[in-house]
């Protein structure tokens, strides 16, 4: 099992240049997660409309030009073997905040407590594509069997902080046929 905290500390935080509040929040979250035993079972499935950070190893990485090892995702729909989600890392940080702002119109409440979640589905996204902007590049399919950590819940009060941090880790396929493809930024 991948140690998410240590791996992010070793590989994912050297480029953090965002606001001091976001960095402080992230360091506190890492400390909370450190040493926690990860158990993956049905009870740990992510809830639709809530935000999660996890470790992922794409099943079809040999045929993908790149993928995000640390997705920051709002699950949208379940399937028997996984789920569809909006991975904010496929947008630059400034665009992530714009998408979050648009998605706030479908939040269950405007208090942003731990009970807050997005009232979201893929059909809602499609019907309101003009309102949510260019989200389509962010919608990805995740297989439960390829998740390499627990789903680390991000509280709604922390969504903007998590969204602006460069927590992504791109796994890039070096196969020559993908040489013209690159991560979104």
- Taking residues 60-83, report their average pLDDT: 94
pLDDT at site 17: 44
pLDDT at site 45: 80
pTM (two decimals) = 0.80
Could you tell me the pLDDT band of residue 13, with boundaries at 50, 70 and 90? very low
118 secondary structure, DSSP code: B
pLDDT at site 30: 65
pLDDT at site 90: 93
Residue 3 in this model has a pLDDT that exceeds 70: no
- Taking residues 37-63, report their average pLDDT: 81
**Exposed, middle or buried by CB within 10 Å (0-12, 13-18, 19+), for 110?**
exposed
184 secondary structure, DSSP code: -
Tokens at 49, concatenated: 């409309």
Decide if 11 contacts 30 (C-beta within 8 A).
no
**Exposed, middle or buried by CB within 10 Å (0-12, 13-18, 19+), for 173?**
middle
pLDDT higher at 184 or 83: 83
pLDDT higher at 91 or 93: 91
How many CB atoms sit inside 10 A of residue 127's CB? 11
Listed by start position, the domains of the chain span 4-173
């Amino acid at each position: 099992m991948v140690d998410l905290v240590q791996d992010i500390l070793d590989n994912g935080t050297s480029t953090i240049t965002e606001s001091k509040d976001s960095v402080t929040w992230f360091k506190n979250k890492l400390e909370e997660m450190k040493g926690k035993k990860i158990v993956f079972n049905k009870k740990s499935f992510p809830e639709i409309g809530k935000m999660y950070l996890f470790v992922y190893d794409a099943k079809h990485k040999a045929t993908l030009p790149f993928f995000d090892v640390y997705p920051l995702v709002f699950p949208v729909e379940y399937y028997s073997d996984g789920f569809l989600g909006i991975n904010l890392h496929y947008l630059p940080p400034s665009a992530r905040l714009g998408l979050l702002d648009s998605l706030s119109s479908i939040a269950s409440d405007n208090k942003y407590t731990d009970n807050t979640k997005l009232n979201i589905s893929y059909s809602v996204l499609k019907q309101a594509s003009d309102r949510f902007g260019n989200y389509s590049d962010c919608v990805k399919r995740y297989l439960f069997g390829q998740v390499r950590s627990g789903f680390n819940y991000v509280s709604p009060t922390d969504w903007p902080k998590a969204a602006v941090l460069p927590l992504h880790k791109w796994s890039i396929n070096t196969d020559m046929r993908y040489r013209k493809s690159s991560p979104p930024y």
